[in-house]
């Protein structure tokens, strides 16, 4: 079957799906946009599909996750667990998850030290892999699960796939740069800044910025992310994440080896204009993955492609999962 490795940012046509998606059930929702100054109808629909909020204890730390039940088990094609990026949270996925719930049980977790999860004295990729595995078990996602991680979350997903990959069906890494060890060691890593506090909710939300910085015309998505990124403390309003959760030691993990040793299907989706993944990095990552693994760029997408090209991301992800089910090689 012919296959292009690039997708445009068009909204999925719910009544005209590609042959490879022909068996994929389609959510009943409007996809047409309202006036240019209004919030799109698809976003309003997605936000109306409310998940449950759940907590569990993992090695002494409370871990939070969102869960969309999806179809009955006998009608389900599998499950999806979304893993957010660094200093982010599960609500980065809450406007995307409903597009998968007609076929999948879907969850999105908050890694320790981020979102609504608790904090640890020490953080490691090893522990975060355990957190991912624990949520899969607690949410009853089952063996036919796909773990999808963006940015820092993709690195943690690679570690998970090395340790627990035999327990799931596959992982999809979304714009997570995994470089050769020597190049990785030479790179200058961002300095951790101290937290700032604000007098009120609106002031804190107004200061929200994407990291790495990029333009994004979907202001309604930026607002949604920002509103779930802050918390009130005795000192004032500030960001939810623990400053220690993003320490420099995270750059010293052998993520290339984790990806190479993944014990499940592996795929890569990245932004064509990403500031973190150049073609050299993509080529290196492809060399670590099994032959026939999907490696797909989204045109005009930057690093935070969930925000600047959400419809293209949904289309690409649905296609990859459907073709994995059909055992089609890319």
State the residue range of the domain holding 23: 19-194+253-325
With 0.95 as the threshold, say if the pTM is over it: no
- 274, part of any domain: yes
pLDDT value, residue 185: 55
Distance between CA atoms of residues 143 and 166, nearest Å: 9
HEC assignment per residue over the chain: CCCCCECCCCCCCCCCCCHHHCCCCCCCCCCCCCCCCCCCHHHHHHHHCCCEEEEEEECCEEEEEEEECCCCHHHCCEEEEEECCCCCCHHHCCCCHHHHCCCEEEEEEECCCCCCCCCCCCCCHHHHHHHHHHHHHHCCCCCCEEEEEECHHHHHHHHHHHHHHHHCCEEEEECCCCCCHHHHHHCCCCCCCCCCCECCHHHHHHCCCCCCCCCCCCHHHHHHHHHCCEEEECCEEEECCCHHHHCHHHHHCCHHHHHHCCCCEEEEEEECCCCCCCHHHHHHHHHHCCCCCCEEEECCCCCCHHHHCHHHHHHHHHHHHHHHHCCCCC
- 99, part of any domain: yes
pLDDT tens across 236-295, in order?
999 999 998 987 556 679 999 999 999 999 999 999 999 999 999 999 999 999 999 999
Cβ-proximal residues to 74 (8 Å cutoff; 6+ apart), any chain? none
Cβ-proximal residues to 263 (8 Å cutoff; 6+ apart), any chain? 161, 162, 164, 165, 166
- 202, part of any domain: no
The backbone region for 300, taken as left when phi is positive above 0, alpha when psi lies in -120 to 50, beta otherwise, is left
pLDDT value, residue 250: 62
Q: How many domains does the chain have?
A: 1
Supply angle C-alpha 53, 43, 240, rounded to 5: 45
- 13, part of any domain: no
Residue 180 belongs to domain with CATH number? 3.40.50.1820
- 230, part of any domain: no
pLDDT value, residue 327: 78
Is residue 159 within 8 Å of 253, Cβ to Cβ? yes
CB neighbour class for 295 (10 Å; exposed up to 12, middle 13-18, buried from 19): middle
- 7, part of any domain: no
pLDDT value, residue 2: 34
- 212, part of any domain: no
- 80, part of any domain: yes
Segments in the chain below pLDDT 70: 1-37, 184-193, 248-251, 328-330
Handedness of CA 41, 66, 76, 24 (dihedral sign): positive
């Amino acid at each position: 079957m012919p296959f292009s490795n690039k997708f445009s940012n068009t909204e999925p046509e719910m009544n005209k799906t590609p042959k490879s998606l022909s068996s994929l059930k389609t959510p009943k929702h409007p996809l047409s946009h309202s006036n240019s100054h209004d919030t799109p109808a698809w976003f309003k629909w997605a936000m109306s599909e409310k998940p449950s909020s759940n907590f569990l204890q993992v090695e002494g730390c409370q871990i939070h996750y969102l869960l969309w039940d999806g179809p009955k088990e006998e009608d389900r094609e599998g499950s999806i667990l979304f893993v957010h990026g660094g200093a982010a949270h599960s609500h980065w996925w809450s406007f995307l998850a409903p597009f998968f719930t007609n076929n999948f049980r879907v969850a999105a977790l908050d890694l320790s030290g981020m979102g609504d999860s608790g904090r640890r004295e020490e953080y490691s990729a090893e522990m975060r892999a355990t957190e991912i595995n624990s949520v899969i078990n607690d949410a009853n996602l089952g063996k036919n699960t796909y773990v999808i991680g963006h940015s820092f979350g993709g690195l943690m997903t690679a570690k998970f796939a090395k340790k627990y990959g035999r327990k799931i069906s596959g992982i999809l890494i979304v714009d997570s740069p995994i470089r050769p060890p020597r190049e990785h060691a030479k790179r200058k890593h961002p300095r951790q800044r101290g937290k700032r506090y604000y007098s009120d909710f609106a002031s804190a939300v107004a200061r929200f910025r994407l990291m790495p910085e990029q333009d994004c015309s979907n202001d309604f998505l930026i607002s949604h992310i920002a509103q779930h990124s802050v918390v009130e403390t005795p000192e004032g309003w500030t960001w939810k994440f623990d400053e220690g959760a993003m320490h420099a030691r995270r750059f010293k993990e052998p993520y290339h080896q984790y990806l190479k040793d993944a014990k499940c299907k592996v795929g890569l989706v990245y932004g064509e204009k990403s500031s973190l993944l150049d073609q050299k990095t993509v080529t290196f990552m492809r060399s670590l993955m099994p032959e026939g693994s999907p490696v797909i760029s989204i045109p005009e997408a930057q690093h935070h492609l969930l925000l600047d090209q959400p419809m293209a991301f949904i289309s690409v992800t649905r296609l990859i999962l459907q073709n994995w089910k059909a055992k089609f090689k890319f």
